[in-house]
Chains A and B, each alone.
Chain A
Amino acid sequence: MSATVIRSTRASQATIGIGAALCVAAATLPFWGESSWMREFVEIACYLIFAMMWNLLAGYGGMVSVGQQAFFGLGGYVMLSLGNFLGFNPFLAIPLAALVSALAALPVSRLAFRLQGGYFSIGTWVIAEVFRLSIANVSAVGGGSGTSLTALRGISRATREHTTYWVALGCVVAAIALVYLFLRSKQGLALQAIRDSEVAAESQGVGVARMKLAVYVVAAFGCGMAGALYFVSNLRISPDAAFGVNWTAFAIFIVMIGGIGRIEGPLIGAVVFWALNKFFSDYGTWYQMGLGLLAIAMTLFFREGLGGFLQRRLGFEMLPTRRILKLDAQPATPVPAHTPAAPSQLMPKVSL
């Protein structure tokens, strides 16, 4: 009896191919598109990256954080400080800001991880508030009213907009690759085992505490990157904008619409969010109420989200992260009873 582990299908390889082609096409946008399109893309890119990190935490790591805006804001302020005070190029400061956010996640996790479940959520929110109030007391970055990114002065508007756009595109591709490769790695396998059952994973030798910390740090890196990118594009930062809980609110909405615990979820959710925002944001409070009600309805009645719905209809995963064991059993040797779930149960329509 032989066995093969299926990690990707022709359909999923095709998805990646189409995605890569789309990225190449998107990279040419500054040569033919309008600058408002680029600005819109950069904004939605920040929401998308932030939502992907929330999905990684809540959908895979089982940590429902309401305080990731702590790292988003920190990324923004670190980028601004590196640019304004130390003369760094703000674009090059983005990865550095992300790195600082990831480092900050180490001590923060010591506090946050003392709380579990729902109390972890509110605990992370308190920590984000401490970040906001602390930065609001630092007069060098304008205190409560905020300050402007002066390091980009002297660069022409077109150059700035084009570079911001390309950097945003690069950040999105990097974030998707980061999450995809992380989930397909050995650590990712461990993480998905933890998601399915923490006790079972621990008994198989998975270091649950270490994995959770790893996810928390990776998510802080991504959120820091999104924050730095957002304020490079926005040119103005304030504690309320940087550390606002609405970042998490929109991330939850994007992830619940697209489908939690699947990579393509936030991608689909971000497209839906962009479209809703475009057509309905003028309705203000009614629009926000609608988003809240939609998130509630999705959670109660449609937990798989649009991503899960699409996967069922199409019959394949667009970005597979599971390893599926395919047994080529000979008739004489029956499959042992304790074999992990047969491929036919997991993925009925897989073609080899």
Chain B
Amino acid sequence: MTETIIQGLLLGGLYCLFSLGLSLMFGVMRLTNIAQGDLIVVGGFAAISVAPLVGGHFVMAGVVLLPVAFAVGYALQRTVLNRTLGKDPLPSLVVTFGLSIVIQNALLEIYSADPRSLDAGELATGSLNLGGDIYVGTLPLLILVAALACTAGLQLLFSTTSLGRAFRAVSDDREAAELMGLNSAKVYSVATALAFVLIALAGLFQGLRTTVSPADGPLLLLFAFESVIIGGMGSFWGTFVGALVLGVSQQVGFKFDPGWGVWFGHLVFLAVLLVRPNGLFPKTKG
């Protein structure tokens, strides 16, 4: 059982990276990005394509990819997504849903339906002894640490920097924030740019840890969403814990029957929704 829980926590680290971008965009501008999962898959494929061009190491691929993701996110928000924002959530939902379909089919056209993965080198096989018979893979542990760092970084960014203050201001009251001299279109674009960096990082790790294929996106979106809701909206640490809960739930379900992992995760999500509709850690200050 200890083994299952540890595997679940490590899986949760990956899910946390899936969900931070979604949480960030929803928190700052109430935009639900239905293409979140598909963009993660794009991140994975992009890393697979870029790695051979920069010497084959995934770290170099990441160094090249993350700034590109920032630029793409900024441009997409500035040119397209800002036009969809408003009281009515419909336009942003339809546009990101359309984007999701375009991405899935474009990936299918470029990469075919075969799953692919990114070579992790010596990381793939390395493991650490946690005492006794328990070993954990170096790569999953690295992903969990990265998730922890990203969560802490986002929370710090929101609570201590002027950019974070701008994020909170446009989120609370866009018009008042604009009266105080903030350009909300720019603030939103920076938020999406940051979300895209997290998405690219998540895609890179997904490609390293397992595989990516063009049809994977929707499932990754659902995992990201479930993590956010289980943890409680508006708190990044809540999202982190929500992702761990989801990871453990899936591992426990998987232990009973290999076909039940995802299903059991969904059921735990619905149970949390029923019993604690605001999540395990409802909105914390700051």
Which A residues lie at the B interface, using CB under 8 A? Answer: 58, 62, 64, 66, 110-111, 114-115, 117-119, 121-123, 125-127, 129-130, 133-134, 136-137, 245, 249, 252, 256, 260, 285-286, 288-289, 291-293, 295-296, 299-300, 303
Among A64, A126, A291, A292, the residue within 8 A (CB) of B89 is A64
Asked if A118 contacts B98 (CB within 8 A), the reply is no
Contacts of B226 in A (CB 8 A): 126
Asked if B270 contacts A130 (CB within 8 A), the reply is yes
CA distance A288 to B218 in the complex (A): 16
Asked if B263 contacts A134 (CB within 8 A), the reply is yes
Asked if B266 contacts A292 (CB within 8 A), the reply is no
Contacts of B262 in A (CB 8 A): 129, 133
Among A121, A291, A295, the residue within 8 A (CB) of B32 is A121
Additional 15 contacts, C-beta under 8 A, given A119-B32, A126-B225, A133-B266: A64-B89, A64-B94, A111-B274, A117-B89, A118-B30, A118-B93, A119-B233, A134-B263, A249-B101, A260-B90, A293-B98, A295-B94, A299-B84, A300-B80, A300-B84
Among B34, B222, B273, the residue within 8 A (CB) of A111 is B273
Contacts of A252 in B (CB 8 A): 94, 97-98
Contacts of B255 in A (CB 8 A): none
Question: Does B239 count as interface, using CB distance less than 8 angstroms?
Answer: no
Question: Does B31 count as interface, using CB distance less than 8 angstroms?
Answer: yes
5 tightest CB-CB pairs across the interface, nearest first?
A118-B32, A292-B101, A296-B98, A292-B102, A285-B105
Question: Does B145 count as interface, using CB distance less than 8 angstroms?
Answer: no
Contacts of B92 in A (CB 8 A): 118
* Identity of the chain A residue whose Cβ is nearest the Cβ of B219 in the assembled complex: A129
B186 to chain A, nearest CB (A): 20
A261 to chain B, nearest CB (A): 9
Contacts of B90 in A (CB 8 A): 58, 62, 64, 260, 299
Asked if A66 contacts B97 (CB within 8 A), the reply is yes
Asked if B98 contacts A292 (CB within 8 A), the reply is yes
Interface string of B237-277 (1 = CB under 8 A from A): 00000000000000000000001101100110110011001
- 28 A/B residue pairs, CB under 8 Å, sorted by A: A64-B89, A66-B97, A114-B274, A118-B32, A118-B89, A119-B26, A121-B93, A122-B32, A122-B221, A123-B229, A129-B262, A133-B262, A133-B263, A134-B263, A252-B94, A252-B98, A285-B109, A286-B109, A288-B105, A289-B106, A292-B101, A292-B105, A293-B102, A295-B101, A296-B99, A296-B102, A299-B94, A300-B95
Contacts of B31 in A (CB 8 A): 118
CA distance A137 to B263 in the complex (A): 10
Among B83, B101, B270, the residue within 8 A (CB) of A288 is B101
With A58-B90, A285-B108, A291-B101 already in contact, the answer to whether A117 and B32 are too (CB < 8 A) is yes
Interface string of B78-118 (1 = CB under 8 A from A): 00100110001111111101111110111011000000000
* Identity of the chain A residue whose Cβ is nearest the Cβ of B32 in the assembled complex: A118
Asked if A66 contacts B34 (CB within 8 A), the reply is yes
CA distance A117 to B222 in the complex (A): 16
Contacts of B106 in A (CB 8 A): 285, 289
Asked if A137 contacts B259 (CB within 8 A), the reply is yes
A248 to chain B, nearest CB (A): 8
Among A58, A115, A136, A292, the residue within 8 A (CB) of B99 is A292
CA distance A252 to B94 in the complex (A): 7
Contacts of B263 in A (CB 8 A): 130, 133-134, 137
Scoring B32, B84, B260 by chain A CB atoms within 10 A of each residue's CB, the highest score goes to B32
A304 to chain B, nearest CB (A): 13
CA distance A115 to B99 in the complex (A): 23
Asked if B80 contacts A122 (CB within 8 A), the reply is no
Tell me the B162-204 residues at the A interface (CB within 8 Å). Answer: none
Contacts of A130 in B (CB 8 A): 263, 266-267, 270
Contacts of A292 in B (CB 8 A): 98-102, 105
Asked if B270 contacts A126 (CB within 8 A), the reply is yes
Contacts of A118 in B (CB 8 A): 26, 30-32, 34, 89, 92-93
Tell me the B58-81 residues at the A interface (CB within 8 Å). Answer: 80
Asked if A111 contacts B270 (CB within 8 A), the reply is yes
Contacts of B233 in A (CB 8 A): 119
CA distance A117 to B84 in the complex (A): 14
CA distance A126 to B262 in the complex (A): 11
B81 to chain A, nearest CB (A): 10
Asked if A119 contacts B94 (CB within 8 A), the reply is no
Contacts of A122 in B (CB 8 A): 32, 34, 221-222, 225
Contacts of B93 in A (CB 8 A): 64, 66, 118, 121
Asked if B266 contacts A299 (CB within 8 A), the reply is no
CA distance A296 to B92 in the complex (A): 9
CA distance A285 to B104 in the complex (A): 9
